[in-house]
Amino acid sequence: MNNRQQSVFSLAVIVAALGYFVDIYDLLLFSIIRIPSLKSLGLNDAQIAKDGLFILNVQMIGLLIGGILWGVLGDKKGRLKVLFASIILYSLGNIANGFVQTVNQYALIRFITGLGLAGELGAGVTLVTELLSKEKRGLGTSIISGLGIAGAVVAFFVNKEFEWRTCYFIGGGLGFILLLLRVGVLESGMFKSIEKSNISKGNFLMLFTNGKRFKKYLISIFVGLPTWYLIGILISFSKEFGQKMGIQGTIDPGKAVMYSYAAISVSSLFAGILSLWLKSRKKVLYLYYIIMSASVWWFFSLHDASLFKFYFVTVVVGIGAGFWTIFVTTSAEQFGTNIRATVATTVPNMVRGSLAVIVTPIFNWLQTSTGNYLKAGWITGVIVIIVGFIAVVLSEETYHKDLDYIEGAAA
Is 123 domain-assigned? yes
Q: Which of 124-128, 222-226, 230-234, 394-398 has the lowest mean pLDDT?
A: 124-128
Instruction: Please give the pLDDT value at position 110.
Output: 93
pLDDT at 190: 64
Contact (CB, 8 A) for 381 and 288: no
For 299, counting Cβ atoms within 10 Å of its Cβ (0-12 exposed, 13-18 middle, 19+ buried), the class is buried
Q: Kindly report the average pLDDT of the chain as a whole number.
A: 86
- Residue 406: the pLDDT is 82
pLDDT given at position 410: 44
Number of domains the chain is built from = 1
Residue 70 belongs to some domain of the structure: yes
- Say if 190 falls within a structural domain: no
Residue 340 within a domain: yes
Per residue in 346-365, pLDDT (tens digit) is 898 888 878 878 998 999 99
- CATH code, domain carrying 329: 1.20.1250.20
Residue 183 pLDDT greater than 70, yes or no: no
Mean pLDDT on 169-190: 75
Q: Is the pLDDT of residue 174 over 50?
A: yes
Most confident of 71-75, 173-177, 212-216: 212-216
Residue 4 maps to a domain = no
R_g of the chain, CA atoms, integer Å: 20
- Alpha-carbon span 347 to 349, nearest angstrom: 5
| Assigned domain for 109 exists | yes
The pLDDT value recorded for residue 188 is: 57
Residue in 237, 261, 259, 255 with CA at minimum distance from that of residue 376? 237
Does residue 97 register a pLDDT over 50?
Answer: yes
DSSP letter, residue 306: B
Q: Binning pLDDT at 50, 70 and 90, where does residue 33 land?
A: confident
**Lowest-pLDDT range of 111-115, 250-254, 353-357, 377-381:** 353-357
Residue 48, pLDDT > 60, answer yes
**Any domain includes 217:** yes
pLDDT given at position 85: 85
Contact 130, 332 (CB under 8 A): no
pLDDT classification of 2: cutoffs 50, 70, 90: very low
Best CA proximity match to 285, nearest among 231, 344, 325: 325
pLDDT tens string 278-297: 999 999 999 999 999 999 99
Is 157 a residue whose pLDDT tops 80? yes
Q: What is the DSSP letter of 302?
A: -
The whole-number average pLDDT for the span 171-200 is 71
Hey, is 321 helix, strand or coil?
A: coil
Q: What percent of the chain has pLDDT over 70?
A: 93
User: What's residue 299's pLDDT?
Assistant: 96
pTM score of the predicted model: 0.80
Contacts of 262 (CB under 8 A, 6+ apart): 150, 152, 153, 315, 318
CB atoms within 10 A of CB 386: 12
Owning domain of residue 24: 11-181+209-394
187 domain residue, yes or no: no
pLDDT at 306 exceeding the cut of 90: yes
**CA–CA distance, 266 with 147 (Å, rounded to integer):** 9
Tell me what pLDDT residue 289 has. Answer: 97
- Tell me how far CA of residue 13 lies from CA of 26, 160, 196, 292, 336, in angstroms: 20, 30, 25, 28, 21
1 vs 107, residue with greater confidence: 107
User: For the chain, how far is it from start to end, CA to CA, in angstroms?
Assistant: 23
Tell me, what's the pLDDT at 185?
64
Q: CA 34, 40, 42, 45: dihedral to nearest 10 degrees?
A: 40
What crossing angle do the helices spanning 103-131 and 11-40 adopt, rounded to 10°?
170
